[in-house]
Structures are given as C-alpha cells and as structure tokens.
Amino acid sequence: MSKEIFVFGSNTAGIHGAGAALYALKYHGAKMGCGYGCMRNSFAIPTKGGTNYIGKSLTVEEIKPFVDGFIAYAKIRHDLIFIVTRIGCGLAGHKDEDIAELF
C-alpha cells in the first residue's frame, strides 16, 4: 500500500459515480459498495445518503461521526500521509467553513 491515502467524500452506499469519489475509484483503489473507511490508497467519508451520487446530502451533524472516525484512524496511522479533499463541498453542497470545523 502506498503511504499516501486519498480522502474523499462518498455516499453511504459506496456508489462512486462522480467527483472525487469517481477519481478515487479509478486511481486510488476505492471499491464500489464501500461508502466509509480505508480501501487500498483511499478513505471514504460519507457526505451524501442514498444509493447513488444524486442522493440527498447529509447534514454537517450527520457527517461529523464519520469525520471523527477518520480522525481516530489517522491518529493511529502515523505511517500514512492523508491527502484530504474538500469533502462535502462539491456535490453535497456544504460550505468550506462548515466542513472545516469538523477537522
């Protein structure tokens, strides 16, 4: 596994059909059907619900537990470098400052 992990916004169903999720699927080992967690050289954080990338956006409060889990994972993986995209700020429609507070 590469030391660099691409962290991207996903949907709860793990359907990586657009944006950074599609990029993660093509280039960083994200797996269809896995909407949260580490997969090869990627880490999915759900920002949308439903069964496709058009599903409803999760609220910042709904995203927070997923970010908290990611942070806990990152704290124990000192051997990895996490490249965090602007999760939730594209297709999910949140403002940068609202998501930034979670980190």
Nearest alpha-carbon partner for 89 in 52, 63, 50: 63
Amino acid sitting at position 66: F
3-state secondary structure of 6: strand
Residue whose tokens read 């998501």: 99
- Rounded to the nearest integer, the mean pLDDT of the chain is 93
Q: Which residue did the predictor score with more confidence, 53 or 32? A: 32
| Residues 9-38: tens digit of each pLDDT | 999 999 999 999 999 999 999 999 999 999
What is the model's pLDDT at position 61? 96
The pLDDT assigned to 22 comes to 96
Say if pTM beats, i.e. exceeds, 0.85: yes
